[in-house]
Amino acid sequence: MLIRMLYASTAVGPITTTVTGTILRSAQAFNADNGITGVLCQGQGVYLQVLEGKPDAVSALYARITADKRHKNLQQLSSEDVTGRRYGAWAMAHVDLTDADSLLALRNSDALFETYPSTGERVMAHIDVLIAAGKVMGAPVV
């Protein structure tokens, strides 16, 4: 059995390429070793991340993530049992939301970010649109 979890958070400081690069390198190495796949979307002060894998592995990783001081206001938007991986090709893909069109797509999806987007499935659908539009960066294939 696998689970898919989506969470959102707010960056504590500026989201720089250095911060993002550090997060991605760490996630890609850790996730590859622990059978976790997913995608990290970041930009304009917001992180959205989807994690997929065995329940124990994803739960342990999420516990580590909640302790990370680079972000705050973590909110789990969805967690569900799944039979297959949606983002199985990547230990951790990266979608940059710094351009206005990417973030606007999420905000216009009934996800006005009053706190965070309301429905996990809707957010993941828009992440998929961004991926299909070629917004994935720095995603080594597992």
Higher pLDDT, 78 or 106: 78
Closest CA to 61 of 90, 27, 108, 106: 27
Mean pLDDT of the 2-25 span:
88
* CATH class as words, domain 2-137: alpha beta
| Element (DSSP H or E) covering residue 51 | strand 46-53
CA dist 130 and 101 (Å) reads: 10
Q: Examine the pLDDT at 109 and tell me if it is beyond 60.
A: no
Record the pTM. 0.82
Closest CA to 50 of 7, 21, 10: 7
pLDDT of residue 141: 46
Q: Examine the pLDDT at 23 and tell me if it is beyond 50.
A: yes
Mean pLDDT of the 99-123 span:
56
Give the chain's mean pLDDT: 81
Distances (CA, A) of 105 to 97, 109, 127: 10, 6, 9
pLDDT of residue 125: 78
Q: pLDDT tens digit string along 69-87?
A: 989 999 898 899 999 999 9
| Reported confidence tier of residue 110, pLDDT bands at 50, 70, 90 | very low
∠ CA(72), CA(75), CA(80), 5° rounding?
Answer: 145
| Reported confidence tier of residue 137, pLDDT bands at 50, 70, 90 | low
pLDDT of residue 41: 86
Closest CA to 96 of 52, 40, 49, 50: 40
Q: pLDDT tens digit string along 112-126?
A: 344 444 567 777 777
Give the residue extent of every domain in the chain. Answer: 2-137
